[in-house]
Chain A
Amino acid sequence: MPADTNATTGPAALQGLATEPGVPKPDPILVGDKIKRSFGGLTAVDVGHIEVQRGAITALIGPNGAGKTTLFNLLTGFDKPDSGTWSFNDQSLSGVPAFKVARRGMVRTFQLTKVLAKLTVIENMRLGATGQRGEKFLSALFRPLWKSQEDEITRRADDLLARFKLDTKREDFAGSLSGGQRKLLEMARALMVDPELVMLDEPMAGVNPALKQSLLGRVKSLREDGRTVLFVEHDMDMVRDISDWVIVMAQGEIVAEGTPAQVMADERVIDAYLGAHHDTDLTELDHEAVQAQAEAELDEEEAKHDD
């Protein structure tokens, strides 16, 4: 939908909002309250209030270990919070299992891509389609019952593959793709679900510069399709380039919000990235980074074991 015709929807409505953490949006698609998650003694996420504007591209940034991926896991049902509520399209998602969250139209990708390496690219895509008759055991046994739907799904998949420039890889095993191609495939596969809200966890990590532009274009085109995008990213160029709104997290909390330009100039953001380390030396910073990395991996594990 054209973004600038209505002042309460889309990215245009974000102009002139306050830059306070948790600021209310005119037309939120996702609203969260008092979401808390701790691992042992360490509080990974403690978000008082968060809103994501419908039809806009929102970036979630913050230093390593700020709890961005954990928040993603919580919102999508891959991890359970200690407390808190959140809703999508005004329907509560608390305690809703991950697969139902996806069916409601909120689909995520993963920081470490989860392509199904031993399936072909086209099979990866077909898996994404929802409501497949052939996925019910009894009808699965009789091909005529699902053949026509499968053809339809395949057509949609081929369209998307062409848009994502993966059509030449159609019959390759997904495991043979490069890191960037995997990111593309994962995003394309998520679109097979036809989600309203696409949540991308570090879509640019490990993508070579040549592919980056294409990937950026794809993310922007999601907004043009009328979808909402929430993404975690470290690449500031990307954040500046495509996001309408930026939410900054540090140590599990939201510390600032605003348009890219506002956030880049915000003292609180600079503090969040550097403040804690003004007087520490670089080797220690490095150590912290390693620890944060390990933490992110643990979160992944944690999410895996919980379900």
Chain B
Amino acid sequence: MLMRNADSPLSVTDEQENCVQRRLTSVLALLGGMLFLATGAASGSALSTLPSESEGQNTITVRVVDSRDEADNDPVADVDVEVAKDDGSFEETGTTDADGQAVVEIPANGKYTVELDEDTLPSGAELEDGRSTLEVQILTSGNRAVQFNIGDEAKSGPGLGKQLVNGLTSGVKFGAIIGLAALGLSLIFGTTGLTNFAHGELITLGAVFTLFLNRGLGLPVVVAGFGAVLLAGLFGWGQDRALWRPLRNRGTGLVAMMIVSIGFAILLRYLFQYVIGGRTQPLTQYVTQSRISLGPVSMTPKEIFIVIVSFTVIALTCLVLMKTRLGKATRAVSDNPALAASSGMRVDGVVTTVWILGTGLTGLAGVMLALDQQVMFRMGFNLLLLVFAAVCLGGLGTIWGALLGSLIIGILVEVSPVLGMPAELKPVGALIALILILLLRPQGILGRTERIG
């Protein structure tokens, strides 16, 4: 055993080497094809009519967002802002557009003040920290974004009980989305042992596919989302066949694979930005909705949809894993691949299935996130650590652990601001929970304390 471990990485035969090369060529072709399709779609569709980012000019982008009640930040339009250089040499005003953004071109580097005209805020809205003036130091050329948040700080906000209910509601929704991705990660990690740093990008992938099918091909959002999950599953199959399986077969170590996944994450993330740009891209339907009250809870229809679909899919997947051979097979493979293989199991087949299923589930998380927050190239990456947190919290290798962990993380993130955590720091609580669980109970809440030998 030890000898094999020590020797195998050194003895890669030419044939294997060629094989890997061939596979890599094909993954490149696949990605290239996707890129081509994407750019084609982008240039031929509504995407290209979006205002392009100002080029070669220094700008300050002022964003005004409404971060009350919800996980996502709704843009606030028609707010007047003023940008002035502190030496008085420059002054310019702007008004936020439908994306809640006002772009002001500035002449040179230096210190600027950005002032928001509070009278132009929608009625009842107040700035989160009460500061209507921000100072910006511009040191390098390019675009600099500043953001004003409309929040609950003001005394006119809803009562604590109401806030708590709202926090719980969005926590459950957020947890549901994370849960899909966490289940995907847990499956893949559980079976292959790979800590996949590209998992965040697999979330974004689902959202980007949805965007193409919806905005590019004009399909309704629901159909586009369905198609995106299928495409994500296909991508899962492709990445296993072209990348991970050849690496497994030549005996590449898990640490090396982890770093490969970092490279893959960077590749995908910037590819997404290349294709859809740096801004948030809205879908064509369900962008804004008004809330429905269900007793004390008020949610938008799409949020209800997200919660129902996510939990149904998670529950179905967990049941399937519990009841079918696939579940047993994945556990056998994760415990001891060699033993599983020698008892006649098609290990490669099981792992491929897991990649398809895992990427599909994660893609669905992306679809749900797109529905909730629209599409941005970094959206999945931003969630990556929270997904890790959810999986570790629930317990690796436990079927229901991902769900439990995700709910805890989702609620922790969304309720902590109600309990006094500044909204901008709300993911920090979840990250601290992640570190604590790794230290205190690395097997997670549902994990077995000890393995039965």
Answer whether A and B touch in the complex at a CB cut-off of 8 Å. Answer: yes
Residues of A within 8 A of B (CB): 39-42, 44, 112-113, 117, 175, 179, 294-295, 297-299, 301-302
Query: Which listed residue (A39, A112, A113, A179) contacts B453, Cβ 8 A?
Result: A39
- Kindly report which residue of chain A lies nearest to residue B442, judged by CB atoms: A305
Nearest CB of chain B from residue A82's CB, rounded to whole Å: 10
User: Any chain A CB within 8 A of the CB of B18?
Assistant: no
What would 19 A/B residue contacts be, using CB atoms closer than 8 Å?
A39-B451, A39-B453, A40-B449, A40-B450, A40-B451, A41-B452, A44-B453, A112-B1, A112-B2, A113-B2, A117-B6, A175-B6, A175-B7, A179-B3, A294-B453, A298-B453, A299-B453, A301-B451, A302-B451
Query: Which listed residue (B6, B7, B336, B450) contacts A294, Cβ 8 A?
Result: B336
- Kindly report which residue of chain A lies nearest to residue B335, judged by CB atoms: A294
The 4 closest A-B pairs by CB, nearest first: A40-B452, A295-B453, A39-B453, A298-B453
- Chain B interface, number of residues (Cβ within 8 angstroms): 13
Query: Which A residues lie within 8 Å of B453 (CB)?
Result: 39-40, 42, 44, 294-295, 298-299, 302
Query: Which A residues lie within 8 Å of B322 (CB)?
Result: none
- Kindly report which residue of chain A lies nearest to residue B339, judged by CB atoms: A294
User: Any chain A CB within 8 A of the CB of B448?
Assistant: yes
Nearest CB of chain B from residue A184's CB, rounded to whole Å: 15
Query: Which B residues lie within 8 Å of A44 (CB)?
Result: 453
Query: Which B residues lie within 8 Å of A39 (CB)?
Result: 450-453
CA distance A39 to B453 in the complex (A): 6
Query: Which A residues lie within 8 Å of B448 (CB)?
Result: 40
A42 touches B452 (CB 8 A): yes
Query: Which A residues lie within 8 Å of B451 (CB)?
Result: 39-40, 298, 301-302
Query: Which B residues lie within 8 Å of A40 (CB)?
Result: 448-453
CA distance A40 to B336 in the complex (A): 19
Query: Which A residues lie within 8 Å of B339 (CB)?
Result: 294
Query: Which A residues lie within 8 Å of B3 (CB)?
Result: 179
Which residues 195-253 of B have a CB within 8 angstroms of A? none
Query: Which A residues lie within 8 Å of B2 (CB)?
Result: 112-113
Nearest CB of chain A from residue B20's CB, rounded to whole Å: 24
- Kindly report which residue of chain B lies nearest to residue A112, judged by CB atoms: B2
Query: Which B residues lie within 8 Å of A295 (CB)?
Result: 453
CA distance A113 to B1 in the complex (A): 10
Query: Which A residues lie within 8 Å of B452 (CB)?
Result: 39-42
Which residues 1-51 of B have a CB within 8 angstroms of A? 1-3, 6-7
Nearest CB of chain A from residue B403's CB, rounded to whole Å: 24
Nearest CB of chain A from residue B331's CB, rounded to whole Å: 15
CA distance A117 to B1 in the complex (A): 13
CA distance A97 to B336 in the complex (A): 30
Query: Which B residues lie within 8 Å of A41 (CB)?
Result: 452
Nearest CB of chain A from residue B168's CB, rounded to whole Å: 36
CA distance A298 to B452 in the complex (A): 9
- Kindly report which residue of chain B lies nearest to residue A65, judged by CB atoms: B453
